[in-house]
Amino acid sequence: MGARPALSIVIPTRNRCQLLLAELRALENQTLPAEYYEVIVVVDGSTDGTGQAVEALDTAFSLRQIWPPGRGRAAACNAGIRAAEGEIVVLLDDDMLPSPALLEAHLHAHESGERLGVLGPVPIRLDADARPVTRYVGRKFNQHLQKLGEGASIGFRDLYTGNFSIRRSLLDEVGLFDEDFKIYGNEDGELGVRLLDAGVRLTYSAEAVAHQRYTKRFAALAQDNIAKGRTAVLLARKHPQALGSLKLSSKDSRELRFARAALLRITSMWSGTPRLVIGCFEILELLLPRLAEYACLAVLDYFYWLGATAELRDGGPLSFDPRPTGAAGR
């Protein structure tokens, strides 16, 4: 039996076969020798031939796939973490294209033995013909990465685990991902609250780059924002002390609040409003792409609050705990 790998790369995936295969090919071209790492693909209910395609690969590194019941990304990540043999777990989303030095950079970041969680940059490439929604998401997220690269403190809201490494023992200590987060969003932030409260320092390694290939169209992004609104309420219920740091309690401009309130009021009277908003925005993308990019903030804000208000209606109002969280103060 060979030595255990230093790193276990866990990739949860669902119906993104071609993106995943490109990612696995990039992991073949790492500066870190193949015997130092294993890759675990967690197939979360895919129906696009992912399993057969992964099975057919012949890789220099150890490659396994597991098929847990499809219960969402948090549960899929946990299944991969539990199967991991390495001391350090690297979580990668299935739309990442790892740079050759990615794994070596993650391994180097943990050499001090500190209680660390390490984020690697995941820049979104913006081509000249990128859709307005891609330009909006990419511009916003790339600006955030720039701030992190300049040394901004990292709180729970900043944690993304699409390119993230941490010692397996620390994940076991805080309890892995919370599997109550079954739909899109905020499972990272909830884990971040517990990591920070446990004294884990979140840091940023500029060398651990994985380029993000953003492929979602506006309708999918709208659905994601509805889910993010719901899961933000779930996070706040579990950690009331974090509410003050969430978008749920942010003070938006008067114009944005007015537009949101008007759309939510119309939605309460006609359930077809969200579909109409998506349809109108998709037309705007085709006819006036610059205006569509500018309008993204307000339209996605509506979908976020559509989800949040639905979750609040289902579960009752939130209570605010004024005590600081380990994340909020960072």
pTM of the model: 0.91
Q: What percent of the chain has pLDDT over 70?
A: 95
- Strand pairing of 88-92 and 116-119? unpaired
Contact 25, 61 (CB under 8 A): no
Residue 56, pLDDT above cutoff 50: yes
Taking residues 184-195, what's their average pLDDT? 96
pLDDT at 327 over 90: no
Quote the CA–CA distance of 156 and 246 in Å, as a whole number. Answer: 10
Query: What is residue 259's predicted lDDT score, i.e. its pLDDT?
Result: 87
Q: What pLDDT is recorded for position 256?
A: 87
142-181 per-position pLDDT tens digit: 999 999 999 889 999 999 999 999 999 999 999 999 999 9
Is pLDDT above 90 for 127? no
Pairing of strands 88-92, 163-167: antiparallel
Query: How many CB atoms sit inside 10 A of residue 173's CB?
Result: 15
Q: pLDDT tens digits, residue range 190-234?
A: 999 999 999 999 999 999 999 999 989 999 999 999 999 999 999
pLDDT greater than 50 at residue 25? yes
**DSSP code for 103:** H
Q: Which range, of 35-39, 250-254, 280-284, averages the lowest pLDDT?
A: 250-254
Q: Residue holding tokens 């307005």?
A: 132
CATH topology for 7-215?
Answer: Spore Coat Polysaccharide Biosynthesis Protein SpsA; Chain A (3.90.550)
Which of 123-127, 155-159, 301-305 shows the lowest mean pLDDT across its residues?
123-127
- Tell me what the pLDDT averaged over the chain comes to: 91
The dihedral region occupied by 113, where left means phi > 0, alpha psi between -120 and 50, and beta the remainder, is: left
> For 128-133, which contacts have Cβ atoms below 8 Å and span 24 or more sequence positions?
131/217, 131/218, 131/285, 131/289, 132/285, 132/289, 132/290, 132/292, 132/293, 132/296, 133/216, 133/217, 133/218, 133/221, 133/285, 133/292, 133/293, 133/296
pLDDT digits (tens, 9 = 90+) for 61-109: 999 999 988 789 999 999 999 999 999 999 999 999 999 999 999 999 9
> Which pLDDT value is given to residue 321?
39
Q: Is pLDDT above 60 for 319?
A: no
In the chain, which residues fall in CATH 3.90.550.10? 7-215
User: Which residue reads 């899109």 in tokens?
Assistant: 184
pLDDT band at 253 (very low <50, low <70, confident <90, very high): confident
Residues 176, 170: Cα–Cα separation, whole Å: 9
CA distance 12 to 116: 22
- Secondary structure of the chain: what % helix, strand, coil (to 5)? 50, 15, 35
Given a cut of 70, is residue 2 above it in pLDDT?
Answer: no
Best mean pLDDT range from 149-153, 187-191, 312-316: 187-191
Tokens of 195: 């990591």
Place 323 in a pLDDT band, splitting at 50, 70 and 90.
very low
In this prediction, residue 48 carries a pLDDT of 86
55-59 long-range contacts, Cβ below 8 Å, gap at least 24? 57/21, 57/24, 59/24, 59/27, 59/28, 59/34
Q: Which token pair is 20?
A: 């995943």
CA distance 304 to 224: 8
